[in-house]
């Protein structure tokens, strides 16, 4: 119950108590006054009548005495007039029944009026001849008392209504700062830190507002400092100090994580870029010029990578750089190699010195069968071949023991994906996500597969077809098919604790009509919607915050959740998390690889969990592949985990 409502109830009770006391006293005083008036009226009538009939009684003229009694009684103001002799025998008796008009019977019953009797002696000379008894009729008194009570009650009701309306208005004005304080407190819980500029006039409330403002500012500053510190330490541990690109340590962890999971990356092009004679350039032109050269090379590589949907870019050491272009096929090696070669050739375009040989590029293809070391060896062999070709050359090296990839054209891919959707060849596999350290099931992540067109027993993982689907604008259609199948699965299970996390492509959010379709679908399955979680990769979410806010706003109406996947893959700031009302962050698997041997990664995860928990978000680790990693997660305050160590993906009916 709100404070204003409690105050209104308290005020109403106080008014009721005051009225009850005032009403009771007023009624009692009015009744006492009327009884005194009735007594005075009866006594005056008795005295006057006794004096008037005394001469007639001494003459035994009862007729005249009776006429005089009737004259008074017939006026209707008296209920009883009685004349008795000295022995108490009734000589004249007039009585009127008690009938009161315009007054409820219950009022007469519960508020009786006592009409006292007036008494006077009748004299015959010096001798007492009898007495007169007079009792006034209480009907007029009842009517007057009823009018008084009605007026008091009416006045109280009007005054109470006015007092309540006025009190509510005053309470609204006086307590309006409490509404703003409530909003401020809820905003702080929702990762916002507003400051109320308008201070209330009431001193107590003003002190509360000032304290809340200090709290909000302090929390914002503390959280900002924590985020800045975590960001700086992460940059020191994972970024090259000169170029700002990922360093070798971070890149190798990311490379191992990418190529170890076909769900993430089933094929890619890996390029090694080496500047020629960087050491000699530093000796000749100075280290400042060398650093400027590295900056230029990093900017050129960023420009090339910007056109690659998913990539990893690193400055390994000295003049060595690496680029992993995920989901790129062999057919795209020539285009990538030529772009990198052109970048090397134009590296010194803004310098007065125009060397002809700036560096070389070696490219290897990852088909899902190599490990990181083998891929590096193949790229290094290609680099040596490129160095023998001449200035700014590039070379592509393909393993001798590997069959050449059967490349599909864009039209072939479009036909394959569309036919798979039309034939309902979409298959869902589920991988469990468990809580730390209890190992209780939190939910399942949905992993999509497509049945191969020429072999029903062969399934194609998402890493093999989703990149091409995104480039062809078919990601929204695949996401719709997955969501529909997930809802059917939830309906079959009929278990409210069974939750599914569905991966949504960032490009689907930009597809016209997708969010409208999603909202309409959730509305049609309102009871099941609360069991859905929509995961989006961080590298896509940070580039489309408006669409993310729209998604969160729409699905939250149905109690569905939104989460960020592969968090930490880039070096984006934590600041944008304040505005996103998401349920959890899923740490990129590159931070989990051999975490027991990597203090930098442990620090990043610890800092991330502290920040996320401060923003009321949970943290889940992906790609947990060993017991050592699992056992360490609880110490880092991680809330949940998934990986082959905990459970492999399996068809939902298995």
Dihedral, CA atoms, 222, 223, 224, 227, nearest 10 degrees? Answer: 120
Q: What is the pLDDT of residue 405?
A: 44
User: With 60 as the cut, is the pLDDT of residue 128 above it?
Assistant: yes
Q: What is the pLDDT of residue 460?
A: 86
Q: What is the pLDDT of residue 404?
A: 45
Mean pLDDT throughout 140-155?
86
Q: What is the pLDDT of residue 358?
A: 85
Q: DSSP assignment, residue 645?
A: T
Q: What is the pLDDT of residue 456?
A: 61
207-218 confidence digits (pLDDT tens): 888 888 888 888
Q: What is the pLDDT of residue 399?
A: 60
Q: What's the rounded Cα separation, in Å, for the pair 171 and 205?
A: 13
Give, in degrees to the nearest 5, the angle at Cα 87 between 82 and 91.
35
User: Looking at per-residue confidence, does 645 or 400 come out higher?
Assistant: 645
Question: Predicted confidence band at 551 (pLDDT cuts at 50, 70, 90)?
Answer: very high
Least confidently predicted of 18-27, 268-277, 475-484: 18-27
Q: Is the dihedral of CA 28, 29, 31, 32 positive or negative?
A: positive
Q: What's the rounded Cα separation, in Å, for the pair 168 and 183?
A: 21
What are phi and psi for residue 367, nearest 5 degrees?
Answer: -110, 10
220-256 confidence digits (pLDDT tens): 787 777 777 777 776 777 788 888 898 988 888 888 8
Q: What is the pLDDT of residue 549?
A: 92
User: With 90 as the cut, is the pLDDT of residue 516 above it?
Assistant: yes
Q: What is the pLDDT of residue 313?
A: 93
Q: What rounded mean pLDDT belongs to the chain?
A: 85
Mean pLDDT throughout 172-197?
77
Mean pLDDT throughout 126-145?
86
User: Looking at per-residue confidence, does 515 or 145 come out higher?
Assistant: 515
User: With 70 as the cut, is the pLDDT of residue 348 above it?
Assistant: no
Does this model's pTM top 0.75? no
Q: What is the pLDDT of residue 166?
A: 83
What are phi and psi for residue 412, nearest 5 degrees?
Answer: -65, -45
Dihedral, CA atoms, 347, 351, 355, 357, nearest 10 degrees? Answer: -10
Q: What is the pLDDT of residue 474?
A: 92
Mean pLDDT throughout 166-172?
79
What are phi and psi for residue 175, nearest 5 degrees?
Answer: -95, 0
Q: What is the pLDDT of residue 1?
A: 63
Q: What is the pLDDT of residue 355?
A: 56
Q: Beta-strand (E) ranges in 90-222?
A: 90-95, 117-124, 127-136
User: With 50 as the cut, is the pLDDT of residue 645 above it?
Assistant: yes
Contact 559, 581 (CB under 8 A): no
Question: Predicted confidence band at 15 (pLDDT cuts at 50, 70, 90)?
Answer: confident
User: Looking at per-residue confidence, does 462 or 586 come out higher?
Assistant: 586
Q: What is the pLDDT of residue 353?
A: 44
Mean pLDDT throughout 159-180?
79
Helices 3-58 and 62-73: angle between axes, nearest 10 degrees: 160
Local structure of 628: helix, strand or coil: helix
Q: What is the pLDDT of residue 653?
A: 67
Mean pLDDT throughout 536-551?
88
296-308 confidence digits (pLDDT tens): 899 999 999 988 8
Mean pLDDT throughout 304-313?
88
Q: What is the pLDDT of residue 577?
A: 78
Give, in degrees to the nearest 5, the angle at Cα 98 between 97 and 101.
125
Q: What is the pLDDT of residue 191?
A: 66
Radius of gyration of the chain (CA): 48
User: What own/partner pairs with CB < 8 Å and gap ≥ 24 does 139-142 have?
Assistant: 139/98, 139/99, 139/100, 139/101, 139/103, 140/77, 141/34, 141/35, 141/37, 141/38, 141/113, 141/115, 142/100, 142/103, 142/107, 142/108, 142/113
Question: Predicted confidence band at 28 (pLDDT cuts at 50, 70, 90)?
Answer: confident
Set out the domains of the chain in order of their start, with CATH numbers: 3-161 (3.30.450), 190-238 (no CATH), 248-397 (3.30.70.270), 410-651 (3.20.20.450)
User: Looking at per-residue confidence, does 261 or 88 come out higher?
Assistant: 88
User: With 90 as the cut, is the pLDDT of residue 155 above it?
Assistant: no
382-416 confidence digits (pLDDT tens): 998 888 787 888 999 776 544 444 456 778 888 88
């Amino acid at each position: 119950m709100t404070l204003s409502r409690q105050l209104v109830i308290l005020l109403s009770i106080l008014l009721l108590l005051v009225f009850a006391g005032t009403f009771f006293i007023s009624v009692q005083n009015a009744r006492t006054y009327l009884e005194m008036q009735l007594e005075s009226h009866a006594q005056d009538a008795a005295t006057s009548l006794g004096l008037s009939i005394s001469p007639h009684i001494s003459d035994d003229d009862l007729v005249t005495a009776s006429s005089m009694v009737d004259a008074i009684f017939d006026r209707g103001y008296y209920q009883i007039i009685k004349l008795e002799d000295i022995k108490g025998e009734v000589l004249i008796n007039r009585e009127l029944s008690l009938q009161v008009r315009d007054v409820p019977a219950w009022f007469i019953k519960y508020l009786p009026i006592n009409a006292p009797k007036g008494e006077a002696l009748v004299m015959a000379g010096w001798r007492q001849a009898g007495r007169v008894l007079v009792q006034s009729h209480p009907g007029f008194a009842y009517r007057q008392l009823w009018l008084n009570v009605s007026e008091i009650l009416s006045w109280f009701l009007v005054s109470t209504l006015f007092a309540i309306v006025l009190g509510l208005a005053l309470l609204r004005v006086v307590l309006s700062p409490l509404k703003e304080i409530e909003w401020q407190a809820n905003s702080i819980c929702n990762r916002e830190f507003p400051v109320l500029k308008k201070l209330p006039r009431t001193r107590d409330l003003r002190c509360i507002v000032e304290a809340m403002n200090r709290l909000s500012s302090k929390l914002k500053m503390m959280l900002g400092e924590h985020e800045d510190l975590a960001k700086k330490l992460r940059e020191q541990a994972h970024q090259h100090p000169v170029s700002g690109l990922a360093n070798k340590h971070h890149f190798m962890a990311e490379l191992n994580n990418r190529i170890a999971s076909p769900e993430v990356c089933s094929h890619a092009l890996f390029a090694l870029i080496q500047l020629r004679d960087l050491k000699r350039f530093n000796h000749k032109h100075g280290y400042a010029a060398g650093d400027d050269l590295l900056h230029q090379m990093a900017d050129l590589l960023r420009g090339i990578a910007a056109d690659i949907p998913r990539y990893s870019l690193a400055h390994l050491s000295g003049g060595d750089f690496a680029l992993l272009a995920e989901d790129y096929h062999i057919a795209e090696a020539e285009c990538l190699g030529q772009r990198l070669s052109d970048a090397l050739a134009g590296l010194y375009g803004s310098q007065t010195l125009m060397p002809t040989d700036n560096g070389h590029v070696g490219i290897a293809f990852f088909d899902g069968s190599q490990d990181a070391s083998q891929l590096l060896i193949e790229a290094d062999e290609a680099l040596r071949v490129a160095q023998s070709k001449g200035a700014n050359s590039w070379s592509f090296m393909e393993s001798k023991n590997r069959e050449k990839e059967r490349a599909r054209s864009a039209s072939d891919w479009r036909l394959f994906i569309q036919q798979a959707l039309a034939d309902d060849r979409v298959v869902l596999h589920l991988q469990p996500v468990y809580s730390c350290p209890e190992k209780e099931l939190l939910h399942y992540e949905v992993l999509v597969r497509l049945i191969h067109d020429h072999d029903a027993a062969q399934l194609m993982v998402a890493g093999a077809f989703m990149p091409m689907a995104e480039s062809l604008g078919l990601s929204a259609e695949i996401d719709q098919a997955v969501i529909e199948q997930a809802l059917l699965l939830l309906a079959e299970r009929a278990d409210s604790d069974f939750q599914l996390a569905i991966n949504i492509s960032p490009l689907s959010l930009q597809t016209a009509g997708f969010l409208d379709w999603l909202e309409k679908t959730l509305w049609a399955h309102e009871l099941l919607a609360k069991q859905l979680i929509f995961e989006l990769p961080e590298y896509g979410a940070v580039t489309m915050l408006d669409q993310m806010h729209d998604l969160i706003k729409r699905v939250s109406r149905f109690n569905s959740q939104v989460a960020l996947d592969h968090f930490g893959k880039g070096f984006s700031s934590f600041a944008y998390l304040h505005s996103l009302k998401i349920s959890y962050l899923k740490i990129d698997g590159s931070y989990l690889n051999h975490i027991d041997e990597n203090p930098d990664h442990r620090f990043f995860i610890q800092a991330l969990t502290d920040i996320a928990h401060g923003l009321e978000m949970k943290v889940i680790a992906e790609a947990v592949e060993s017991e050592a990693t699992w056992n360490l997660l609880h110490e880092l305050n991680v809330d949940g985990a998934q990986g082959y160590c905990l459970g492999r993906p399996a068809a939902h009916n298995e």
